[in-house]
Structure 1
Amino acid sequence: MKLNILPARAGFAWFRLGIRTFMRQPLALTGLFFMYMAAASLLSLLPVVGSFLALAIVPAATLGLMAATREAAEGRFPTPRVMLSALRAGREQMRAMAVLGVAYAALSLLVLALVPVVVDLPPPAPGDAAETVFGPQMQGAMLLGMALYLPVSLLFWHAPALVYWHGVSPAKSLFFSFVACVRNVRAMLAYGLAWSALVFAVSLAVVLVSLALGSPGLAGSALVPAGVVFTALFTTSLWFTFRDSFVADEAAAPPPAGNDDGTPRA
Protein backbone atom coordinates (compact mmCIF):
# COMPACT_ATOMS: atom_id res chain seq x y z
CA MET A 1 0.00 0.00 0.00
CA LYS A 2 1.34 3.41 -1.00
CA LEU A 3 0.19 6.94 -0.27
CA ASN A 4 -0.70 9.20 -3.18
CA ILE A 5 0.12 12.90 -2.83
CA LEU A 6 -2.69 14.66 -4.65
CA PRO A 7 -3.15 18.22 -5.93
CA ALA A 8 -5.84 20.55 -4.63
CA ARG A 9 -8.06 19.84 -7.63
CA ALA A 10 -8.53 16.27 -6.35
CA GLY A 11 -10.65 17.70 -3.52
CA PHE A 12 -13.04 19.26 -6.03
CA ALA A 13 -13.09 15.98 -7.94
CA TRP A 14 -14.14 14.12 -4.76
CA PHE A 15 -16.90 16.66 -4.27
CA ARG A 16 -18.22 16.21 -7.82
CA LEU A 17 -17.92 12.43 -7.73
CA GLY A 18 -19.83 12.25 -4.47
CA ILE A 19 -22.74 14.22 -5.90
CA ARG A 20 -22.73 12.35 -9.22
CA THR A 21 -22.68 8.96 -7.50
CA PHE A 22 -25.40 9.96 -5.04
CA MET A 23 -27.66 11.03 -7.92
CA ARG A 24 -27.31 7.56 -9.43
CA GLN A 25 -28.89 5.92 -6.37
CA PRO A 26 -30.34 8.76 -4.24
CA LEU A 27 -33.07 6.72 -2.54
CA ALA A 28 -30.83 3.76 -1.76
CA LEU A 29 -27.96 5.83 -0.39
CA THR A 30 -30.26 8.07 1.64
CA GLY A 31 -32.07 5.01 2.96
CA LEU A 32 -28.81 3.39 4.05
CA PHE A 33 -27.80 6.56 5.86
CA PHE A 34 -31.18 6.60 7.62
CA MET A 35 -30.60 2.99 8.65
CA TYR A 36 -27.38 4.00 10.35
CA MET A 37 -29.03 7.00 12.03
CA ALA A 38 -31.88 4.82 13.28
CA ALA A 39 -29.48 2.22 14.68
CA ALA A 40 -27.43 4.90 16.44
CA SER A 41 -30.57 6.50 17.87
CA LEU A 42 -31.83 3.19 19.22
CA LEU A 43 -28.47 2.36 20.77
CA SER A 44 -28.28 5.78 22.43
CA LEU A 45 -31.52 4.99 24.30
CA LEU A 46 -29.86 2.14 26.19
CA PRO A 47 -29.02 3.04 29.79
CA VAL A 48 -25.41 3.64 30.86
CA VAL A 49 -23.68 2.33 27.71
CA GLY A 50 -26.06 3.74 25.09
CA SER A 51 -24.02 6.80 24.13
CA PHE A 52 -20.79 4.78 24.01
CA LEU A 53 -22.30 2.13 21.72
CA ALA A 54 -23.87 4.74 19.43
CA LEU A 55 -20.41 6.25 18.92
CA ALA A 56 -18.65 2.89 18.70
CA ILE A 57 -20.58 1.91 15.54
CA VAL A 58 -19.42 5.00 13.65
CA PRO A 59 -16.32 3.35 12.05
CA ALA A 60 -18.34 0.30 10.96
CA ALA A 61 -21.14 2.51 9.63
CA THR A 62 -18.62 4.66 7.76
CA LEU A 63 -17.21 1.53 6.15
CA GLY A 64 -20.69 0.38 5.18
CA LEU A 65 -21.53 3.71 3.55
CA MET A 66 -18.22 3.68 1.68
CA ALA A 67 -18.91 0.16 0.45
CA ALA A 68 -22.37 1.30 -0.68
CA THR A 69 -20.81 4.19 -2.60
CA ARG A 70 -18.40 1.80 -4.28
CA GLU A 71 -21.32 -0.38 -5.35
CA ALA A 72 -23.20 2.61 -6.78
CA ALA A 73 -20.10 3.97 -8.52
CA GLU A 74 -19.61 0.60 -10.24
CA GLY A 75 -23.21 0.53 -11.46
CA ARG A 76 -24.63 -1.86 -8.87
CA PHE A 77 -27.55 -1.28 -6.51
CA PRO A 78 -26.34 -0.97 -2.90
CA THR A 79 -28.46 -3.19 -0.69
CA PRO A 80 -28.75 -2.95 3.11
CA ARG A 81 -26.35 -5.89 3.31
CA VAL A 82 -23.41 -3.60 2.56
CA MET A 83 -23.96 -1.86 5.89
CA LEU A 84 -22.85 -5.11 7.52
CA SER A 85 -19.54 -5.18 5.65
CA ALA A 86 -17.59 -4.95 8.91
CA LEU A 87 -19.40 -8.04 10.24
CA ARG A 88 -18.87 -10.00 7.04
CA ALA A 89 -15.09 -9.54 7.06
CA GLY A 90 -12.65 -12.05 8.48
CA ARG A 91 -12.29 -12.54 12.21
CA GLU A 92 -9.10 -10.50 12.39
CA GLN A 93 -10.67 -7.59 10.53
CA MET A 94 -13.78 -7.75 12.70
CA ARG A 95 -11.60 -7.58 15.80
CA ALA A 96 -9.68 -4.63 14.35
CA MET A 97 -12.94 -2.84 13.51
CA ALA A 98 -14.15 -3.39 17.07
CA VAL A 99 -10.93 -1.84 18.38
CA LEU A 100 -11.49 1.17 16.13
CA GLY A 101 -15.05 1.49 17.41
CA VAL A 102 -13.99 1.46 21.05
CA ALA A 103 -11.16 3.93 20.38
CA TYR A 104 -13.45 6.30 18.48
CA ALA A 105 -16.10 6.25 21.18
CA ALA A 106 -13.54 6.81 23.93
CA LEU A 107 -11.85 9.73 22.16
CA SER A 108 -15.17 11.35 21.20
CA LEU A 109 -16.46 11.17 24.77
CA LEU A 110 -13.14 12.55 25.99
CA VAL A 111 -13.57 15.57 23.72
CA LEU A 112 -17.11 16.09 25.02
CA ALA A 113 -15.85 15.86 28.60
CA LEU A 114 -12.95 18.28 28.08
CA VAL A 115 -14.96 21.14 26.58
CA PRO A 116 -16.98 22.06 29.71
CA VAL A 117 -13.84 21.66 31.82
CA VAL A 118 -11.90 24.20 29.75
CA VAL A 119 -14.84 26.54 29.06
CA ASP A 120 -16.95 27.54 32.03
CA LEU A 121 -20.43 27.25 30.53
CA PRO A 122 -23.28 29.03 32.32
CA PRO A 123 -26.33 26.98 33.37
CA PRO A 124 -29.21 27.25 30.87
CA ALA A 125 -31.64 29.98 31.80
CA PRO A 126 -35.36 29.36 31.19
CA GLY A 127 -36.74 31.42 28.32
CA ASP A 128 -33.26 32.56 27.31
CA ALA A 129 -32.22 29.71 25.03
CA ALA A 130 -31.24 31.91 22.07
CA GLU A 131 -28.93 34.08 24.18
CA THR A 132 -27.34 30.98 25.70
CA VAL A 133 -26.74 29.29 22.35
CA PHE A 134 -25.35 32.38 20.62
CA GLY A 135 -23.50 33.74 23.64
CA PRO A 136 -19.70 34.10 23.56
CA GLN A 137 -19.10 31.26 26.01
CA MET A 138 -21.17 28.79 24.01
CA GLN A 139 -19.55 29.92 20.77
CA GLY A 140 -16.13 29.47 22.35
CA ALA A 141 -17.12 25.99 23.55
CA MET A 142 -18.24 25.04 20.04
CA LEU A 143 -14.98 26.26 18.49
CA LEU A 144 -12.96 24.42 21.11
CA GLY A 145 -14.94 21.24 20.51
CA MET A 146 -14.32 21.49 16.78
CA ALA A 147 -10.59 22.05 17.35
CA LEU A 148 -10.33 19.07 19.68
CA TYR A 149 -12.36 16.83 17.40
CA LEU A 150 -10.39 17.67 14.24
CA PRO A 151 -7.41 15.37 15.00
CA VAL A 152 -9.85 12.61 16.01
CA SER A 153 -11.60 13.00 12.66
CA LEU A 154 -8.31 12.81 10.76
CA LEU A 155 -7.26 9.69 12.67
CA PHE A 156 -10.43 7.83 11.71
CA TRP A 157 -11.01 9.33 8.25
CA HIS A 158 -9.45 6.43 6.32
CA ALA A 159 -8.91 3.97 9.19
CA PRO A 160 -12.01 1.73 8.69
CA ALA A 161 -11.30 1.39 4.96
CA LEU A 162 -7.62 0.63 5.57
CA VAL A 163 -8.55 -2.13 7.99
CA TYR A 164 -11.17 -3.62 5.68
CA TRP A 165 -9.64 -3.30 2.20
CA HIS A 166 -5.92 -3.40 3.02
CA GLY A 167 -5.85 -5.52 6.20
CA VAL A 168 -3.95 -2.86 8.15
CA SER A 169 -3.82 -3.13 11.95
CA PRO A 170 -5.89 -0.61 13.97
CA ALA A 171 -2.87 1.35 15.24
CA LYS A 172 -1.28 1.57 11.79
CA SER A 173 -4.60 2.46 10.16
CA LEU A 174 -4.99 5.43 12.50
CA PHE A 175 -1.42 6.56 11.79
CA PHE A 176 -1.71 6.16 8.01
CA SER A 177 -5.08 7.92 8.00
CA PHE A 178 -3.71 10.92 9.85
CA VAL A 179 -0.61 11.11 7.66
CA ALA A 180 -2.66 10.81 4.46
CA CYS A 181 -4.96 13.66 5.49
CA VAL A 182 -2.03 15.89 6.50
CA ARG A 183 0.05 15.13 3.40
CA ASN A 184 -2.98 15.80 1.19
CA VAL A 185 -3.99 18.91 3.10
CA ARG A 186 -4.50 20.95 -0.08
CA ALA A 187 -6.95 18.43 -1.50
CA MET A 188 -8.70 18.09 1.86
CA LEU A 189 -9.06 21.86 2.20
CA ALA A 190 -10.48 22.16 -1.32
CA TYR A 191 -12.85 19.30 -0.53
CA GLY A 192 -14.02 20.98 2.66
CA LEU A 193 -14.41 24.37 0.99
CA ALA A 194 -16.52 22.89 -1.79
CA TRP A 195 -18.93 21.26 0.66
CA SER A 196 -19.04 24.37 2.86
CA ALA A 197 -19.86 26.57 -0.15
CA LEU A 198 -22.67 24.27 -1.25
CA VAL A 199 -24.20 24.10 2.25
CA PHE A 200 -23.98 27.88 2.62
CA ALA A 201 -25.54 28.53 -0.80
CA VAL A 202 -28.46 26.16 -0.24
CA SER A 203 -29.05 27.41 3.31
CA LEU A 204 -29.04 31.01 2.13
CA ALA A 205 -31.48 30.17 -0.69
CA VAL A 206 -33.86 28.45 1.75
CA VAL A 207 -33.78 31.44 4.11
CA LEU A 208 -34.36 33.95 1.31
CA VAL A 209 -37.27 31.96 -0.11
CA SER A 210 -38.88 31.61 3.33
CA LEU A 211 -38.55 35.37 3.90
CA ALA A 212 -39.99 36.11 0.46
CA LEU A 213 -42.98 33.93 1.27
CA GLY A 214 -43.44 35.73 4.58
CA SER A 215 -42.87 32.56 6.60
CA PRO A 216 -39.56 32.75 8.48
CA GLY A 217 -40.34 29.52 10.34
CA LEU A 218 -40.31 27.67 7.03
CA ALA A 219 -36.52 27.96 6.89
CA GLY A 220 -36.04 26.01 10.11
CA SER A 221 -38.45 23.30 9.00
CA ALA A 222 -36.74 22.94 5.62
CA LEU A 223 -33.15 23.05 6.85
CA VAL A 224 -33.53 19.99 9.10
CA PRO A 225 -34.33 17.47 6.32
CA ALA A 226 -31.92 19.32 4.03
CA GLY A 227 -29.18 18.77 6.60
CA VAL A 228 -29.86 15.04 6.63
CA VAL A 229 -29.69 14.86 2.83
CA PHE A 230 -26.47 16.90 2.80
CA THR A 231 -24.91 14.54 5.32
CA ALA A 232 -25.88 11.56 3.16
CA LEU A 233 -24.38 13.36 0.16
CA PHE A 234 -21.18 14.04 2.06
CA THR A 235 -20.77 10.45 3.23
CA THR A 236 -21.15 9.35 -0.39
CA SER A 237 -17.98 11.24 -1.26
CA LEU A 238 -15.88 9.61 1.48
CA TRP A 239 -15.11 6.55 -0.63
CA PHE A 240 -13.39 8.66 -3.29
CA THR A 241 -11.14 10.38 -0.74
CA PHE A 242 -9.90 6.95 0.31
CA ARG A 243 -9.73 5.43 -3.17
CA ASP A 244 -7.50 8.17 -4.50
CA SER A 245 -5.30 8.56 -1.41
CA PHE A 246 -3.98 4.99 -1.38
CA VAL A 247 -2.92 2.45 -3.98
CA ALA A 248 -2.07 -1.22 -3.55
CA ASP A 249 1.61 -2.08 -3.98
CA GLU A 250 0.91 -4.31 -6.94
CA ALA A 251 -0.87 -1.60 -8.90
CA ALA A 252 1.05 -0.20 -11.82
CA ALA A 253 -0.15 3.37 -11.26
CA PRO A 254 -2.07 5.32 -8.65
CA PRO A 255 -5.86 5.52 -9.14
CA PRO A 256 -7.00 8.78 -10.73
CA ALA A 257 -9.23 11.30 -9.02
CA GLY A 258 -11.66 11.07 -11.92
CA ASN A 259 -12.17 11.86 -15.59
CA ASP A 260 -12.02 15.43 -16.80
CA ASP A 261 -15.81 15.65 -16.56
CA GLY A 262 -15.78 14.36 -12.97
CA THR A 263 -17.06 10.87 -13.70
CA PRO A 264 -15.32 7.94 -12.02
CA ARG A 265 -12.91 5.78 -13.95
CA ALA A 266 -12.83 2.01 -13.76
Structure 2
Amino acid sequence: MKLRIVPARAGLEWVKLGTRTFWRQPLALAALFFMTMAAMSIATMVPLVGPALALALLPSATLAMMVAAAEASEGRFPTPALLLVAFRTGKQRLRAMLTLGAIYAVGFLGLVGVSALIDGGTFANVYLGGQRLTPETAAEPAFQYAMWAAMLLYVPLSLLFWHAPGLVHWHGVPPVKSLFFSLVACWRNWRAFLAFGFTWFGVFMAAGIVISVASTLLTLVGLPPMMAGSIMVAAAMMLAAMFLTSVVYTFRDCFEAPYAPGSAGMTDRLDGPDGPVA
Protein backbone atom coordinates (compact mmCIF):
# COMPACT_ATOMS: atom_id res chain seq x y z
CA MET A 1 0.00 0.00 0.00
CA LYS A 2 1.29 3.43 -0.94
CA LEU A 3 0.17 6.88 0.10
CA ARG A 4 -0.48 9.23 -2.79
CA ILE A 5 -0.08 13.00 -2.79
CA VAL A 6 -2.73 14.73 -4.88
CA PRO A 7 -3.13 18.37 -5.96
CA ALA A 8 -5.60 20.75 -4.35
CA ARG A 9 -7.91 20.49 -7.37
CA ALA A 10 -8.57 16.88 -6.40
CA GLY A 11 -10.84 18.17 -3.63
CA LEU A 12 -13.14 19.76 -6.19
CA GLU A 13 -13.03 16.60 -8.28
CA TRP A 14 -14.08 14.49 -5.28
CA VAL A 15 -17.16 16.66 -4.79
CA LYS A 16 -18.03 16.47 -8.49
CA LEU A 17 -17.56 12.70 -8.68
CA GLY A 18 -19.52 12.11 -5.47
CA THR A 19 -22.42 14.23 -6.72
CA ARG A 20 -22.42 12.52 -10.11
CA THR A 21 -22.33 9.07 -8.53
CA PHE A 22 -25.15 9.90 -6.15
CA TRP A 23 -27.44 10.93 -9.00
CA ARG A 24 -26.79 7.63 -10.74
CA GLN A 25 -28.62 5.86 -7.90
CA PRO A 26 -30.22 8.63 -5.80
CA LEU A 27 -33.05 6.61 -4.27
CA ALA A 28 -30.87 3.62 -3.43
CA LEU A 29 -28.08 5.68 -1.85
CA ALA A 30 -30.48 7.97 0.02
CA ALA A 31 -32.41 4.93 1.31
CA LEU A 32 -29.20 3.23 2.42
CA PHE A 33 -28.14 6.37 4.28
CA PHE A 34 -31.55 6.55 5.94
CA MET A 35 -31.29 2.90 7.00
CA THR A 36 -27.85 3.43 8.53
CA MET A 37 -29.15 6.39 10.51
CA ALA A 38 -32.22 4.40 11.55
CA ALA A 39 -30.05 1.51 12.73
CA MET A 40 -27.94 3.86 14.84
CA SER A 41 -31.07 5.49 16.27
CA ILE A 42 -32.44 2.08 17.25
CA ALA A 43 -29.10 1.23 18.85
CA THR A 44 -29.40 4.27 21.14
CA MET A 45 -32.51 2.67 22.67
CA VAL A 46 -30.52 -0.18 24.17
CA PRO A 47 -30.48 0.38 27.95
CA LEU A 48 -27.26 1.71 29.50
CA VAL A 49 -24.98 1.17 26.49
CA GLY A 50 -27.22 2.53 23.72
CA PRO A 51 -25.34 5.78 22.90
CA ALA A 52 -21.95 4.05 22.98
CA LEU A 53 -23.26 1.23 20.76
CA ALA A 54 -24.58 3.73 18.23
CA LEU A 55 -21.22 5.49 18.13
CA ALA A 56 -19.43 2.16 17.65
CA LEU A 57 -21.57 1.50 14.56
CA LEU A 58 -20.49 4.70 12.82
CA PRO A 59 -17.32 3.32 11.12
CA SER A 60 -19.35 0.39 9.76
CA ALA A 61 -22.05 2.77 8.53
CA THR A 62 -19.42 4.91 6.80
CA LEU A 63 -17.96 1.82 5.14
CA ALA A 64 -21.41 0.76 3.94
CA MET A 65 -21.85 4.10 2.18
CA MET A 66 -18.35 3.90 0.69
CA VAL A 67 -18.98 0.42 -0.73
CA ALA A 68 -22.40 1.50 -2.00
CA ALA A 69 -20.83 4.49 -3.76
CA ALA A 70 -18.20 2.21 -5.32
CA GLU A 71 -20.96 -0.08 -6.57
CA ALA A 72 -22.96 2.82 -8.01
CA SER A 73 -19.86 4.25 -9.71
CA GLU A 74 -19.50 0.95 -11.58
CA GLY A 75 -23.13 0.96 -12.68
CA ARG A 76 -24.27 -1.63 -10.17
CA PHE A 77 -27.27 -1.27 -7.87
CA PRO A 78 -26.29 -0.80 -4.18
CA THR A 79 -28.60 -3.12 -2.26
CA PRO A 80 -29.62 -2.86 1.42
CA ALA A 81 -27.42 -5.93 2.06
CA LEU A 82 -24.44 -3.56 1.98
CA LEU A 83 -25.48 -2.42 5.46
CA LEU A 84 -23.81 -5.59 6.72
CA VAL A 85 -20.76 -5.43 4.48
CA ALA A 86 -18.47 -4.77 7.44
CA PHE A 87 -19.62 -7.99 9.10
CA ARG A 88 -19.42 -10.36 6.13
CA THR A 89 -15.74 -10.23 5.15
CA GLY A 90 -14.26 -12.81 7.48
CA LYS A 91 -13.60 -13.02 11.20
CA GLN A 92 -10.31 -11.10 11.10
CA ARG A 93 -11.78 -8.03 9.42
CA LEU A 94 -14.93 -8.30 11.49
CA ARG A 95 -12.81 -8.08 14.65
CA ALA A 96 -10.90 -5.17 13.11
CA MET A 97 -14.11 -3.26 12.35
CA LEU A 98 -15.47 -3.94 15.83
CA THR A 99 -12.19 -2.67 17.27
CA LEU A 100 -12.45 0.48 15.16
CA GLY A 101 -15.98 1.01 16.40
CA ALA A 102 -14.94 0.59 20.01
CA ILE A 103 -12.04 3.03 19.63
CA TYR A 104 -14.31 5.59 17.97
CA ALA A 105 -16.91 5.30 20.73
CA VAL A 106 -14.26 5.74 23.43
CA GLY A 107 -12.70 8.69 21.60
CA PHE A 108 -16.00 10.45 21.06
CA LEU A 109 -17.21 9.90 24.61
CA GLY A 110 -13.81 11.16 25.77
CA LEU A 111 -14.15 14.47 23.95
CA VAL A 112 -17.71 14.81 25.27
CA GLY A 113 -16.27 14.19 28.73
CA VAL A 114 -13.77 17.00 28.21
CA SER A 115 -16.63 19.33 27.30
CA ALA A 116 -18.38 18.32 30.52
CA LEU A 117 -15.40 19.59 32.50
CA ILE A 118 -16.04 23.04 31.00
CA ASP A 119 -19.80 23.45 31.50
CA GLY A 120 -20.70 20.73 33.97
CA GLY A 121 -22.13 18.40 31.33
CA THR A 122 -24.80 20.65 29.79
CA PHE A 123 -23.46 20.38 26.24
CA ALA A 124 -23.01 16.62 26.64
CA ASN A 125 -26.59 16.17 27.80
CA VAL A 126 -27.93 18.27 24.95
CA TYR A 127 -25.83 16.51 22.32
CA LEU A 128 -26.67 13.04 23.58
CA GLY A 129 -30.36 13.86 23.72
CA GLY A 130 -30.79 13.94 27.47
CA GLN A 131 -31.65 17.63 27.63
CA ARG A 132 -33.55 20.00 25.33
CA LEU A 133 -31.59 22.93 23.91
CA THR A 134 -33.17 26.25 24.84
CA PRO A 135 -32.13 29.76 23.74
CA GLU A 136 -31.09 30.48 27.31
CA THR A 137 -28.83 27.42 27.41
CA ALA A 138 -27.30 28.21 24.02
CA ALA A 139 -26.49 31.74 25.17
CA GLU A 140 -24.52 30.62 28.22
CA PRO A 141 -20.76 31.26 27.80
CA ALA A 142 -19.83 27.94 29.44
CA PHE A 143 -22.06 26.05 27.00
CA GLN A 144 -20.49 27.82 24.05
CA TYR A 145 -16.96 27.14 25.28
CA ALA A 146 -17.83 23.47 25.74
CA MET A 147 -19.34 23.29 22.26
CA TRP A 148 -16.28 24.83 20.60
CA ALA A 149 -13.94 22.59 22.59
CA ALA A 150 -15.86 19.52 21.43
CA MET A 151 -15.79 20.71 17.82
CA LEU A 152 -12.05 21.35 17.90
CA LEU A 153 -11.37 17.96 19.47
CA TYR A 154 -13.58 16.26 16.90
CA VAL A 155 -11.38 17.42 14.01
CA PRO A 156 -8.42 15.10 14.81
CA LEU A 157 -10.84 12.29 15.72
CA SER A 158 -12.56 12.56 12.34
CA LEU A 159 -9.21 12.62 10.51
CA LEU A 160 -8.12 9.48 12.33
CA PHE A 161 -11.24 7.65 11.17
CA TRP A 162 -11.66 9.25 7.73
CA HIS A 163 -9.90 6.47 5.81
CA ALA A 164 -9.70 3.84 8.54
CA PRO A 165 -12.81 1.79 7.60
CA GLY A 166 -11.70 1.61 3.96
CA LEU A 167 -8.14 0.65 4.91
CA VAL A 168 -9.40 -2.17 7.10
CA HIS A 169 -11.94 -3.40 4.54
CA TRP A 170 -10.10 -3.11 1.23
CA HIS A 171 -6.44 -3.21 2.28
CA GLY A 172 -6.58 -5.43 5.36
CA VAL A 173 -4.72 -2.90 7.51
CA PRO A 174 -4.90 -3.52 11.30
CA PRO A 175 -7.14 -1.05 13.19
CA VAL A 176 -4.47 1.01 14.97
CA LYS A 177 -2.31 1.25 11.85
CA SER A 178 -5.34 2.26 9.80
CA LEU A 179 -5.90 5.21 12.15
CA PHE A 180 -2.28 6.31 11.76
CA PHE A 181 -2.31 5.98 7.96
CA SER A 182 -5.62 7.83 7.77
CA LEU A 183 -4.25 10.77 9.74
CA VAL A 184 -1.06 10.90 7.68
CA ALA A 185 -3.01 10.75 4.40
CA CYS A 186 -5.26 13.63 5.45
CA TRP A 187 -2.29 15.66 6.65
CA ARG A 188 -0.15 15.10 3.55
CA ASN A 189 -3.12 15.95 1.30
CA TRP A 190 -4.40 18.84 3.40
CA ARG A 191 -4.77 21.16 0.41
CA ALA A 192 -7.12 18.77 -1.36
CA PHE A 193 -9.10 18.14 1.82
CA LEU A 194 -9.34 21.87 2.49
CA ALA A 195 -10.75 22.40 -1.00
CA PHE A 196 -13.07 19.44 -0.47
CA GLY A 197 -14.36 20.81 2.83
CA PHE A 198 -14.86 24.38 1.63
CA THR A 199 -16.62 23.19 -1.52
CA TRP A 200 -19.05 21.05 0.43
CA PHE A 201 -19.58 23.90 2.88
CA GLY A 202 -20.57 26.11 -0.03
CA VAL A 203 -22.86 23.43 -1.43
CA PHE A 204 -24.61 22.98 1.92
CA MET A 205 -24.99 26.73 2.42
CA ALA A 206 -26.39 27.31 -1.07
CA ALA A 207 -28.72 24.31 -0.82
CA GLY A 208 -29.88 25.46 2.62
CA ILE A 209 -30.83 28.87 1.26
CA VAL A 210 -32.68 27.38 -1.72
CA ILE A 211 -34.53 24.84 0.43
CA SER A 212 -35.47 27.47 3.01
CA VAL A 213 -36.83 29.84 0.36
CA ALA A 214 -38.70 27.04 -1.39
CA SER A 215 -40.26 25.85 1.88
CA THR A 216 -41.35 29.39 2.73
CA LEU A 217 -42.96 29.82 -0.69
CA LEU A 218 -44.72 26.45 -0.41
CA THR A 219 -46.06 27.45 3.01
CA LEU A 220 -47.35 30.75 1.59
CA VAL A 221 -49.30 28.92 -1.12
CA GLY A 222 -51.03 26.68 1.40
CA LEU A 223 -48.68 23.78 2.11
CA PRO A 224 -48.91 22.74 5.78
CA PRO A 225 -45.82 23.81 7.76
CA MET A 226 -45.27 20.21 8.91
CA MET A 227 -45.06 19.02 5.29
CA ALA A 228 -42.69 21.86 4.41
CA GLY A 229 -40.52 20.84 7.36
CA SER A 230 -40.53 17.24 6.13
CA ILE A 231 -39.31 18.39 2.74
CA MET A 232 -36.43 20.26 4.39
CA VAL A 233 -35.45 17.20 6.42
CA ALA A 234 -35.58 14.95 3.34
CA ALA A 235 -33.43 17.39 1.36
CA ALA A 236 -30.90 17.60 4.21
CA MET A 237 -30.66 13.79 4.34
CA MET A 238 -30.10 13.63 0.58
CA LEU A 239 -27.29 16.17 0.88
CA ALA A 240 -25.71 14.17 3.70
CA ALA A 241 -25.95 10.99 1.61
CA MET A 242 -24.37 12.84 -1.32
CA PHE A 243 -21.52 13.99 0.91
CA LEU A 244 -20.85 10.44 2.14
CA THR A 245 -20.95 9.20 -1.44
CA SER A 246 -18.00 11.46 -2.23
CA VAL A 247 -15.89 10.07 0.65
CA VAL A 248 -14.92 6.94 -1.30
CA TYR A 249 -13.19 9.12 -3.90
CA THR A 250 -11.02 10.74 -1.23
CA PHE A 251 -9.98 7.24 -0.19
CA ARG A 252 -9.41 6.05 -3.75
CA ASP A 253 -7.05 8.89 -4.60
CA CYS A 254 -5.06 8.88 -1.36
CA PHE A 255 -3.99 5.23 -1.44
CA GLU A 256 -2.61 2.88 -4.03
CA ALA A 257 -2.88 -0.86 -3.58
CA PRO A 258 -2.96 -4.05 -5.69
CA TYR A 259 -6.75 -3.90 -5.45
CA ALA A 260 -9.03 -0.98 -4.79
CA PRO A 261 -12.75 -0.21 -4.63
CA GLY A 262 -14.18 -0.70 -8.08
CA SER A 263 -12.36 -1.81 -11.17
CA ALA A 264 -12.80 0.76 -13.90
CA GLY A 265 -13.73 4.32 -12.98
CA MET A 266 -12.74 3.77 -9.35
CA THR A 267 -9.12 3.11 -10.26
CA ASP A 268 -8.57 6.28 -12.29
CA ARG A 269 -6.64 8.54 -9.93
CA LEU A 270 -5.35 12.06 -9.88
CA ASP A 271 -1.57 12.28 -9.65
CA GLY A 272 -0.03 15.10 -7.67
CA PRO A 273 3.33 16.74 -8.21
CA ASP A 274 4.98 14.20 -5.94
CA GLY A 275 3.20 11.14 -7.31
CA PRO A 276 2.75 8.11 -5.05
CA VAL A 277 4.87 7.92 -1.96
CA ALA A 278 5.62 5.05 0.36
What range is the shorter-chain TM-score in?
Answer: 0.7 to 0.9
3-state DSSP class of the match of 2:76? Answer: coil
State the shift of 1:257 in Å.
Answer: 3.9
Q: Does residue 96 of the first structure (1) align with residue 99 of the second (2)?
A: no
Deviation larger for 194-203 or 134-143: 134-143
TM-score by length of 2: 0.83
In the alignment, residue 73 of structure 1 is paired with which amino acid? S
TM-score by length of 1: 0.87
In the alignment, residue 248 of structure 1 is paired with which amino acid? A
Q: CA RMSD in A?
A: 2.7
Superposed, 1:1-266 pairs within 5 Å as: 1-119=1-119, 129-210=134-215, 222-248=231-257, 255-257=268-270
Cα displacement string for residues 101-130 of structure 1 (whole angstroms, at most 9, x for unaligned residues): 100011111111111212457799x99922
Flag the 1:65–1:176 CA change in 2: closer, same or farther, 3 A: same
Cα displacement string for residues 50-92 of structure 1 (whole angstroms, at most 9, x for unaligned residues): 1111111111111111110000000100111122111111211
Separation in 2 of the partners of 1:212 and 1:28? 29
State the shift of 1:212 in Å.
Answer: 5.7
State the shift of 1:99 in Å.
Answer: 0.5
Does the 8 A contact of 1:61 with 1:83 survive in 2? yes
Flag the 1:96–1:186 CA change in 2: closer, same or farther, 3 A: same
Flag the 1:257–1:138 CA change in 2: closer, same or farther, 3 A: farther
Separation in 2 of the partners of 1:238 and 1:128? 31
Runs ≥4 residues deviating over 4 A:
120-124, 209-215, 217-222
Separation in 2 of the partners of 1:237 and 1:42? 26
Flag the 1:70–1:88 CA change in 2: closer, same or farther, 3 A: same
Does the 8 A contact of 2:118 with 2:145 survive in 1? no
State the shift of 1:137 in Å.
Answer: 3.7
Runs of 5+ in structure 2 lacking a partner?
261-266, 272-278
Does the 8 A contact of 1:121 with 1:137 survive in 2? no
3-state DSSP class of the match of 2:23? Answer: helix
Cα displacement string for residues 177-224 of structure 1 (whole angstroms, at most 9, x for unaligned residues): 000001110000100001100111111223344556775x68755433
Flag the 1:127–1:89 CA change in 2: closer, same or farther, 3 A: closer
Does the 8 A contact of 1:14 with 1:257 survive in 2? no
Cα displacement string for residues 215-234 of structure 1 (whole angstroms, at most 9, x for unaligned residues): 5x687554332221111111
3-state DSSP class of the match of 1:160? Answer: helix
Identity %: 49
3-state DSSP class of the match of 1:3? Answer: strand
Does the 8 A contact of 1:13 with 1:257 survive in 2? no
Separation in 2 of the partners of 1:21 and 1:248? 22
